[in-house]
Chains A and B, each alone.
Chain A
Amino acid sequence: MMPATIRVLLHLVVLLALPPLVMGVINKTKAALAGRRGPPVLQLYWDLARLLQKGLVQSTTTTALFRLGPLVTLGATLLAGLFVPLGAGAAPLGFTGDLVLFAGLLALGRLATTLAALDTGSAFEGMGVARELTFAVFAEPAVLFVFLALTQLAGLGSLSTLLHDGPAQALAVAPLLLCAVGLFVVLLAEGSRIPFDDPNTHLELTMVHEVMVLDHSGPPLAAILAGAAMKLTLLASIVIALVLPTASFDAVPWVGFGAHVLAILLMGVVIGLVESTMARLRMKHAPSLLVAALLLCAFGFLLSVRAQP
């Protein structure tokens, strides 16, 4: 075990510094496969620094809802990030049943983003909210099914202990593999990636997440970009914990930490590969894929019930 202070410090470093790098890895992978040089891996860090130095323009029709949206979302995601183990042992915070809080915090982040979007009164942003929430209806229960499966395998506990003990169970492979695949699909939807959304498009009518944040600028936009990258990284970390049991690295915590961080970056490569090889789904077909992901997670849960000793 690492000393608690180092553990927390490492956790914070990963939570705050890694997400933009993951985005950089995704973009670099896409560029490499398209035969382009692509933006630097550290581009998002520069973008965030640039946005933080800018002023902000706000529509006169908006209210505090619009201004607070990005901050609440980033805050909720940050707080949720303190409950998810990121490779350096247990997460800084944790209590029995915190997984409900984790899901709730992500939902709160979504609520703040969508309310801020609706506050603009723009037809575009309302359209984006409708799409985002249509996806969320299927994405959120999928995450809960994964947590239920973990609870079945490892008993009650905090998210940290569940993600540590659950995958270590002998019979956990089959149910958690299903959950991991399902959760990866959810991650693509939550991270606004292809096949659900196209992070590169400039066409408002096809956007989901981007169109909700069109009116934001300057530091709030930086908060949105940082929060989105963070959410993607958190979900990636959970998927990795499901298939790469952290318990097996208990004797060599530093190796475990390195492997976990590397796996998160590798996940970026995988996302880049997915985006480079397939087209986006038609908007009305996207929920069907999410339903499939939800079912995978649900079957994972059912298998975990059977797998109980």
Chain B
Amino acid sequence: MSAPFTHGTARERHEVEALTLGQFQTTVRAAVAVDGRVVDLWVTPRPDGARTLFCVLSVPSESTETTTRALRLLGTDLGTATTFPALTPTVPEVHLFERELAEDYALVPEGHPRLRPVRRTLPSEGFYSVSGDAIHEVAVGPVHAGVIEPGHFRFQCAGEVVHHLEIALGYQHRGARALLEAGPDARTLHLAETLAGDASVAHATATCQAMEALSGTIVPPRALAIRAIALELERLANHVGDLGALANDVGFLPTASFCGRIRGDWLNATALGCGNRFGRSWIVPGGVRFDLEPDRARTLRASIDQAYEDTASAVNLLWDAPSVMSRFEDAGTVTLEQAREVGLVGPAARASGLCRDVRRDHPAGAWLTVSLDAVESVPTGDVYARAFQRWSEVRQSVAVLRRLLDTLPDGPLRTPLLPLRPNAVTVALVEGWRGEVAHTVATNDAGRFRFYRVVDPSFRNWTGLALALRGQQLSDFPLCNKSFNLSYCGCDL
């Protein structure tokens, strides 16, 4: 067995742990049993028609001195087989990955409990249904009443109580992975930024990290710090927007109105850094495109202080309003057990007591040196927990931002990206505001992309939403949905 590799480095292709299918599955099961988790699982066809099944695992470090985790990249040759025994029954968190295999490669995981397509579904077909006198079915979407992304939700209800929710997505499928695999070229970065528009910085950072690791480019420390600033500003804008949206969904107007405006202030802080409210084009391979000169850094620092003050006064109204608390508490609970089984990530996982954070577990760039304060959590797994988690993370992010701005290293902004090494593979992880953004990228003989895997946190967390709705009031669905606030296009790719 080759040693686990650290995040931010690339490996030669032949260094992937090559196992038999049996060993592969045993390794995954064993790793998951001892606090490991599956970051990605996919197949890559070879020119000779055979296929290789890959898996990226995040495992606890063997050294007891560090809290960081290690990555393992496993591969197994499937030959030309069209079926394999499913891992899902024993490792439920891979259920969507295996459904993807069946959908995209006609590779059937035998024994998978619910083998529906992930993206190419029609809202009229094959839904799980409950029957009985008092049961009724409510179908929502893909066209919604608000300006939101399309998705289909099928509720099996007895009166107001939801027994089962099935979520069918795919309406935003753009073939993003295939487009990325045509690279690297001038479009690569733009494609990454639009994988999930509200997580532009997270995906752009992941893409740049992957390309830098594959080429061995060393990014200057000042650029790494500015990337971290951009990432935290993105987190702040979205968390604040979400808290406002949660207030809006329970009809609590004060916080809803204020947060709508304050989210704009956070977006404007990003615009102050790079000219774009979503951080587009700020991050480029080899560094960043725009500097934070002392003057601008001071202005940014001042606007962060002001926006934080406003955020605190608006958000604290929520916790003091009994009518809001009675809506948030005990709504849409995801237990720790469920969260672990389906492999939740991000604030949703942390709100269920599952402490996963790429910034701490797999630090790269500025996160190797910047310390993260512990956050105050209420790990009850309900809407309140997810809302409060966001507020805690807002405070954590503001503290980190201040630290980053105070200790901004000197030096150049970017170094030229070196050519990608042929036949190398790397995993780039970034803690986006929704959770772990994972890009697994490999190059071919010519140093072009051989495959480009993207896993957006929404892909995993949609299952969490479905579980949260079990036994809940149908009228609480929008509230539960908002407490996750997942991306449709990030999942559909």
Expressed in whole angstroms, the minimum distance between the Cβ of B373 and any Cβ of chain A is: 30
Expressed in whole angstroms, the minimum distance between the Cβ of A45 and any Cβ of chain B is: 24
Contact A280 B136 (CB under 8 A): no
Expressed in whole angstroms, the minimum distance between the Cβ of B122 and any Cβ of chain A is: 18
Task: Indicate if A204 sits at the interface (CB-CB under 8 A).
Answer: yes
Contact B474 A280 (CB under 8 A): no
Expressed in whole angstroms, the minimum distance between the Cβ of B129 and any Cβ of chain A is: 13
Contact B139 A206 (CB under 8 A): no
Q: Given B254, B327, B473, which contacts A276 in the complex, CB threshold below 8 Å?
A: B254
Q: Which of A16-52 contact B (CB under 8 A)?
A: 30, 33-36
Expressed in whole angstroms, the minimum distance between the Cβ of A205 and any Cβ of chain B is: 5
Contact A203 B145 (CB under 8 A): yes
Known: A278-B321, A279-B324. A206 touches B249 (CB 8 A): yes
Known: A281-B323, A282-B326. A123 touches B474 (CB 8 A): no
The proximity string for B residues 112-140 relative to A, scoring 1 for CB distances below 8 Å and 0 otherwise, is: 00000000000000000000000011111
Contact B250 A204 (CB under 8 A): no
Task: Indicate if A270 sits at the interface (CB-CB under 8 A).
Answer: no
Cα distance, A275 to B247, chains bound together (Å): 13
Contact A205 B140 (CB under 8 A): yes
Task: Indicate if B171 sits at the interface (CB-CB under 8 A).
Answer: no
Cα distance, A131 to B474, chains bound together (Å): 12
Known: A195-B323, A279-B327, A284-B473. A205 touches B138 (CB 8 A): yes
Expressed in whole angstroms, the minimum distance between the Cβ of B60 and any Cβ of chain A is: 41
Cα distance, A126 to B160, chains bound together (Å): 11
Contact A130 B323 (CB under 8 A): no
Task: Indicate if B64 sits at the interface (CB-CB under 8 A).
Answer: no
Contact B138 A127 (CB under 8 A): yes
Chain A residues near B321 (CB-CB < 8 A): 278-279
Task: Indicate if B253 sits at the interface (CB-CB under 8 A).
Answer: yes
Task: Indicate if B477 sits at the interface (CB-CB under 8 A).
Answer: yes
Q: Given A131, A200, A202, which contacts B145 in the complex, CB threshold below 8 Å?
A: A202
Chain A residues near B473 (CB-CB < 8 A): 282-284
Chain A residues near B175 (CB-CB < 8 A): none
Task: Indicate if A198 sits at the interface (CB-CB under 8 A).
Answer: yes
Contact A201 B138 (CB under 8 A): no
Residue of B nearest to A124 (CB): B138
Cα distance, A191 to B256, chains bound together (Å): 22
The proximity string for B residues 18-34 relative to A, scoring 1 for CB distances below 8 Å and 0 otherwise, is: 00000000000000000
Cα distance, A184 to B78, chains bound together (Å): 70
Known: A281-B323, A282-B473, A285-B326. A206 touches B478 (CB 8 A): yes
Contact B250 A280 (CB under 8 A): yes
Known: A206-B249, A281-B323. A126 touches B136 (CB 8 A): yes
Task: Indicate if B66 sits at the interface (CB-CB under 8 A).
Answer: no
Cα distance, A203 to B138, chains bound together (Å): 13
Contact B257 A205 (CB under 8 A): no
Cα distance, A127 to B257, chains bound together (Å): 29
Cα distance, A129 to B305, chains bound together (Å): 49
Chain B residues near A131 (CB-CB < 8 A): 160, 475
Known: A278-B323, A279-B324. A203 touches B136 (CB 8 A): no
Cα distance, A242 to B473, chains bound together (Å): 37
Residue of A nearest to B161 (CB): A284
Task: Indicate if B251 sits at the interface (CB-CB under 8 A).
Answer: yes
Q: Given A34, A130, A194, A205, which contacts B251 in the complex, CB threshold below 8 Å?
A: A194
Residue of A nearest to B255 (CB): A279
Q: Given B146, B253, B474, B478, which contacts A30 in the complex, CB threshold below 8 Å?
A: B253
Q: Given A123, A194, A281, A284, which contacts B139 in the complex, CB threshold below 8 Å?
A: A123
Known: A35-B257, A195-B251, A281-B323. A205 touches B474 (CB 8 A): yes
The proximity string for B residues 368-392 relative to A, scoring 1 for CB distances below 8 Å and 0 otherwise, is: 0000000000000000000000000
Cα distance, A283 to B477, chains bound together (Å): 11
Task: Indicate if A61 sits at the interface (CB-CB under 8 A).
Answer: no
Expressed in whole angstroms, the minimum distance between the Cβ of A200 and any Cβ of chain B is: 8
The proximity string for A residues 230-249 relative to B, scoring 1 for CB distances below 8 Å and 0 otherwise, is: 00000000000000000000
Chain B residues near A30 (CB-CB < 8 A): 253
Q: Which of A192-214 contact B (CB under 8 A)?
A: 194-195, 198, 200-206
Contact A205 B160 (CB under 8 A): no
Expressed in whole angstroms, the minimum distance between the Cβ of B485 and any Cβ of chain A is: 14
Task: Indicate if A277 sits at the interface (CB-CB under 8 A).
Answer: yes
Chain A residues near B140 (CB-CB < 8 A): 204-205
Q: Given A33, A127, A202, which contacts B474 in the complex, CB threshold below 8 Å?
A: A127
Task: Indicate if B159 sits at the interface (CB-CB under 8 A).
Answer: yes
Q: Which of B326-357 contact A (CB under 8 A)?
A: 326-327, 331
Cα distance, A12 to B1, chains bound together (Å): 89
Contact A280 B160 (CB under 8 A): no
Residue of B nearest to A203 (CB): B478
Known: A205-B475, A282-B326. A123 touches B136 (CB 8 A): yes
Contact B251 A201 (CB under 8 A): yes
Q: Given A34, A123, A124, which contacts B257 in the complex, CB threshold below 8 Å?
A: A34
Cα distance, A205 to B145, chains bound together (Å): 11
Chain A residues near B159 (CB-CB < 8 A): 130
Residue of B nearest to A286 (CB): B475
Q: Which of B444-493 contact A (CB under 8 A)?
A: 473-479
Chain B residues near A33 (CB-CB < 8 A): 253-254
Task: Indicate if B252 sits at the interface (CB-CB under 8 A).
Answer: yes
Most buried by B among A34, A201, A205: A205
Cα distance, A195 to B475, chains bound together (Å): 14
Q: Which of B151-185 contact A (CB under 8 A)?
A: 159-160
Expressed in whole angstroms, the minimum distance between the Cβ of B140 and any Cβ of chain A is: 7
Expressed in whole angstroms, the minimum distance between the Cβ of A255 and any Cβ of chain B is: 35
Expressed in whole angstroms, the minimum distance between the Cβ of B249 and any Cβ of chain A is: 7
Chain B residues near A280 (CB-CB < 8 A): 250-252, 323, 327
Residue of B nearest to A285 (CB): B326
Cα distance, A189 to B338, chains bound together (Å): 38
Contact B251 A203 (CB under 8 A): no
Expressed in whole angstroms, the minimum distance between the Cβ of A206 and any Cβ of chain B is: 5
Q: Given A34, A203, A285, which contacts B253 in the complex, CB threshold below 8 Å?
A: A34
Cα distance, A84 to B139, chains bound together (Å): 42
Expressed in whole angstroms, the minimum distance between the Cβ of A284 and any Cβ of chain B is: 6
Residue of B nearest to A278 (CB): B323
Q: Given B160, B258, B323, which contacts A283 in the complex, CB threshold below 8 Å?
A: B160
Cα distance, A202 to B477, chains bound together (Å): 13
Expressed in whole angstroms, the minimum distance between the Cβ of A273 and any Cβ of chain B is: 11
Contact B252 A278 (CB under 8 A): yes
Cα distance, A198 to B327, chains bound together (Å): 14
Cα distance, A35 to B145, chains bound together (Å): 26
Contact B146 A275 (CB under 8 A): no
Q: A278-B321, A283-B160 are in contact. List 15 more A-B contacts (CB 8 A).
A: A123-B139, A124-B138, A131-B475, A195-B251, A198-B251, A203-B146, A206-B475, A275-B251, A276-B253, A278-B323, A279-B323, A279-B327, A280-B252, A281-B323, A282-B327
User: 20 pairs across A/B with beta carbons < 8 Å?
Assistant: A30-B253, A33-B253, A33-B254, A34-B254, A123-B138, A200-B251, A201-B249, A201-B251, A205-B477, A206-B475, A206-B478, A279-B247, A279-B321, A279-B326, A280-B252, A280-B323, A282-B331, A283-B160, A283-B473, A284-B160
Pairs A-B, 7 closest by C-beta atoms:
A34-B257, A280-B251, A279-B252, A283-B475, A279-B250, A279-B323, A203-B478
